[in-house]
């Protein structure tokens, strides 16, 4: 049988994992945009566009997760 404390701990761990993923995605995306992170054999323009895609999709996923959680 599951304890009610198990659910709270699981939710806290899930939040920590989700928040870590968001922060890492934003760090990588902005690193690509600012040309701090590069991809070998790929032009800097393509890398910069890919960085913007990562940032936009991360922000969209955050908004969608908040909307889903509120329902």
Q: Which DSSP string corresponds to the chain? A: ---HHHHHHHHHHHHHHHHHHHHHHHHHHHHHHTTSS--TTS-HHHHHHHHHHHHHHHHHHHHHHHHHHH-
pLDDT tens-digit series, residues 20-52: 999 999 999 999 999 999 999 999 999 999 999
Distance (Å, whole) CA 44 – CA 26: 18
Which residues, other chains included, contact 46 with Cβ-Cβ below 8 Å and sequence gap of 6+? 39
pLDDT-derived band at 1 (thresholds 50, 70, 90) equals very low
- The dihedral sign for the CA sequence 33, 37, 39, 40: positive
């Amino acid at each position: 049988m599951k304890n009610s404390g198990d659910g709270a701990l699981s939710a806290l761990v899930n939040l920590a994992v989700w928040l870590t993923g968001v922060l890492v995605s934003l760090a990588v995306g902005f690193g690509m945009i600012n040309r701090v992170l590069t991809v070998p054999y790929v032009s800097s323009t393509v890398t910069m566009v890919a960085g913007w895609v990562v940032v936009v999709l991360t922000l969209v996923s955050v908004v969608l997760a908040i909307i889903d959680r509120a329902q």
